Structure 1
Amino acid sequence: MTFSPGSGNKRAVNHDGALPGAAEDREEARRRAAAFSAHRRAVCRDELCRASAACGLVWLVVYQVLAVFASDSWAAPLVTDALYLLPIGAAAVAGVFAVRASSGRLRRIWAWLAVSHVCWLIGEVIWSVWGVWLSDDRLAAAVDTDKSIPLSDVAYTVSYAALVPAAWIGFVETRRLWRARALLDAALVVLAVGSIGWRLLSGSDPVNPDVLVDLAYPAVGLLFVLALIGAGLSGHRGVPCSILLTLVGFGIGIVADAGYAFADAGNSFSDTSPLNLGWQAQAVFLTLGGVAAIRHPDVEPPVERFDHDRAFGAVLISGLVVALLVGVDQIRNQKVDTVWLGVTALVLAGLLARQALTTRERTRLAKELDEALQEQRRTAVTDGLTGLYNRPFFQALLGVEARRALHGNGRAALILVRLDSFAGIGEQHDWAAGDTVLVQVADRLRIAARPGDVLARYGVEEFACLLPQTDEEAAMEVAERFRQALRRTSIVVGSGASVAVTASFGVATATGQTALAEDDDEPMLDMDRLVRDADRALNDANERGGDRVVVAGRADRRTLADDVDVPPELAWLADRVDRVLSDHEHSTAVARWCLLVGGYLALDHIELRQVVAAGRLHDIGKFGVGAAILRKTDPLTDAEWGALRCHPEEGARLLRGVGGHAALAPLVAAHHERWDGLGYPEGIKGEDIPLGARIIAVCDSWAAMRVDRPYAPALNTRAARDEIERARGTQFDPIVVDAFLALLDQDLIDDPLPL
């Protein structure tokens, strides 16, 4: 296969072919980080946010003053049950409006936070109504441990439960394993903290429902806070300003909930407790978070995918804490309680699960790193648009080939390709059309190249092909294949317009006898000279109008088909016959396709030139048949068929009479012979027919079927292909048919051009 990287990865590039690199990625990261910092500063400077913070501070002072002075008066319920609800209600309203103001991932986080705020408000309303409108006896009965948990506790529980999906969404752009590990880390820390609280509060009763409910509130809140803090410590992403304020609020709430758990365990909590100020402060910060999200919808913070795993220390300490508590229980009671065995089992299971998640995550990261390194190596040597090698790598390969060539036949060839009028494509269409053309050109060159040829993008509209162990004639043939591959059909760009593409080709060769460079260590081919020669030939081809192949140090070679030694008078006869038969070229197209098929079958250069020349002149014998017979639409008579079937021998006779071209006569004479022996004029068959004649036969039939003739309309490509396949092994040599169809499948067989 051709030595050029695959074209599967065609990353977006600018119109001059520049490949976005790490510098652009770093600049984008800096831009996002700057936008994130600017957003935080905007929140801090916002007048409404500042006013809200000031009002919150004033409210906390006023509330505490009222709570102190009204603690033993009739106004106590007004302060602790009615005014107490104001900041919580404000937090719920702000959370709902924050959902409307946010978008994307942050909107989903705020949706769950709003649910949490509203449920908290509902729970407090139920509790306040319970305390104000029910008698103390009924209230005491309602909250007795032997009775059902009040509805307020249900609302509180839902309020905290809504924080878990909010924390999960906080890791939405990380892997599922990473999210699971982060929440598991937080859960293990919460379990350790809860174990300490359980030991301090439960006393001799290891299973106390009141303690379970009291500890559940701060535990779930702590889970939410630790999970998001763990994300920040692990370097995943920054925390948006509104979420940061919300985290502060929940942090204060956790402290208040923990204080409530201890106070309730000692039956020392009352509605006028100073702990209410903590929940009021929590509500104030939740309100500020909502206001910040409303006023300045959060900018998505920049993502950093490195993982410092800083949470591992906290997880390890958590395991040690549980182990210490189990040890204390063993020393004090001479046994380990079932509850502590369960807690220990949970911690051990959590640690094992964490290790499994960490191992899987590290394995995935190692795999991604290896893939990234492979991609980096590939992009370091390839052009991002076309998938071919880039110029720096190609130049390095030239140096390698300069030394390697002398270990073979001491030859190397270089083809430089420049698209004609490429700048006009951008002017007439747009840069995207230019990119489309470059990609299509690269694909066509890749298909037309030989095995072992090295293709590269050499400039904006330039390409290069290094041909190891190749002489001048073979290099010219490859260049001609390239030229035909580019010009055969137009390229359709994004706007639907068709763009005709031609190119200029400069060919140069180097050998051990003519182009050795001086080197202190070892002899090598002079690749600098090779590049200069090819560049001069390329400029010469461009100055001569383009769409041609020029070999360094030789005259202009528009095509090999035109370059073969064909007597002008015989070429004139061939063209006259073509004009009688059709308004499209025939003999020139046959010669062009003979070149491709012969090259595909690896004919030597002399034989290939003979086939091309014979293809150009194969119908000159029809000049003596007469235009009336050639243009006749009705079936021919036997006499007319006899006259027509003489044209192969007549053409051969003309060639034998022209000095130096007798070798073409057998090819022209046999181009209507059939593989099965039913052809004319001699009825020879199989390999007795010269290979060149067998090639001309297939190309001649294709040319006749693809254009309108007096006796038959043109066939489309599918129908003509079917006819060629149907005649394989009967009319045509199977090997030649297979070669022709392979070239057709590669879109190298172009259509005959109008005359």
Structure 2
Amino acid sequence: MGNDFYFQNKEKADRAAELVIANKELVFQNKEKADRAAELVIANKELAFQNKEKADRAAELVIANKELVFQNKEKADRAAELVIANKELIFQNEEKDKRAAELIIANERLAVQNKEVLYLIYHDQLTGLYNRRFYEIELERLDTTRDLPLTMVMGDVNGLKLINDSFGHAMGDELLKKVAEVIKKGCRADDIIFRMGGDEFVILLPKTDAFEAEIIIKRITELSLLEKVGSINISISFGYETKNNEDDNIQDVFKKSEEHMYNNKLIESQSMRKNAVDMIIKTLHEKNKRLEEHSQRVSKLCERMGEVLELFEYQIEELKTAGLLHDIGKIAINENILNKPDKLTCSEWKEIKRHSEIGYRILSTANDMSKIAEYVLSHHERWDGKGYPRGLSGKGIPFESRIIAIADAYDAMISERLYSSALLPKAAAEELRKNAGSQFDPELVSLFIAALEIVEK
């Protein structure tokens, strides 16, 4: 029992010792725990701090992300703007290229136009020769001692007005162009040719004396004889003067060359005009055989009236010629109008009525036909003053014109026409009687009908 008690006490002492140890261990552990708890507190504080740092950084990151998003959006917007700007720049560059190309084309056109303008300033548009403006410049340039002797040649185309009146200005233009070609062929390379306007040409011959000038003029004249415009012969009257001394006035040289040209023109143009009138008649009759036959019959009727009236031989010849030429002005009337089978319109009739004035202009160019020109001008005047072109009446109408009017009307009535059938001579004579005192001279109508009756017997 004592041993058991001793053992139990020992057991207790051992357990107490163990408990002490355990308590110490527990204290130690508790201290460890306390240290760990303190460390944990510190760690938690550190963690809390870190978490706060992280939160702050996260907040900063959010702000940074927002800034980055904003910046990215800005960049995207700027990139989009840059794309648009680049497209605009490309478009603008393309526009600039187009404009540059257009500008190059415009500059090229402008250069051509300037060249054309410069050409037109100094050249005659119709013939291509130099014009009066360039003549004045060249004359001043050549009027020096080094170009002496300086010869000035004046040329004038004969019958241009006659051709314009007869065949129209288009034919007159062709004549002028052909004359320019002939003059160029006849001149030398250094000779300078000008068209001064109208039918006048000037040739400046530097370092050329009178003898050489005459050779050039002769060459041009011979070449002109080989050329025609349609059926029209080319005729040019020339005159020249030479400046041999420095003291000679160039304007005096011009005037003398012009005087010489006009003197030659007086001699040459008359024969040319007579030939031109003959050529016009021939051309008209070749174009219209019916008109030729009508003119010949009217001429014979006029001749018969002259005989009945016992006119002088020269008067009968004038009357006969006027009858033959009374329709010469129809050379300038459109053939479609002359040969129209239907009734003429007002404008066409107005055109037809021009033929008496045209005929007058053609014939009046030849001095020996001035009277006949007057008779032709008035052959459509009426006794009552309602005719054309001047509305003359009664004995204010030339006597010969009154005869032509009757002969013309009578032959027209008894001939087959495009727009009406022929009348019998008696019916035509009756028409003349009806219109005597209104359209025709009543006394001459009576004599004309009497003359016809004599012929019929």
Q: TM-score range by the shorter chain?
A: 0.3 to 0.5
Return the index of the structure with the highest Cα Rg: 2
Task: Compute the TM-score of the two structures, normalised by the length of structure 2.
Answer: 0.38
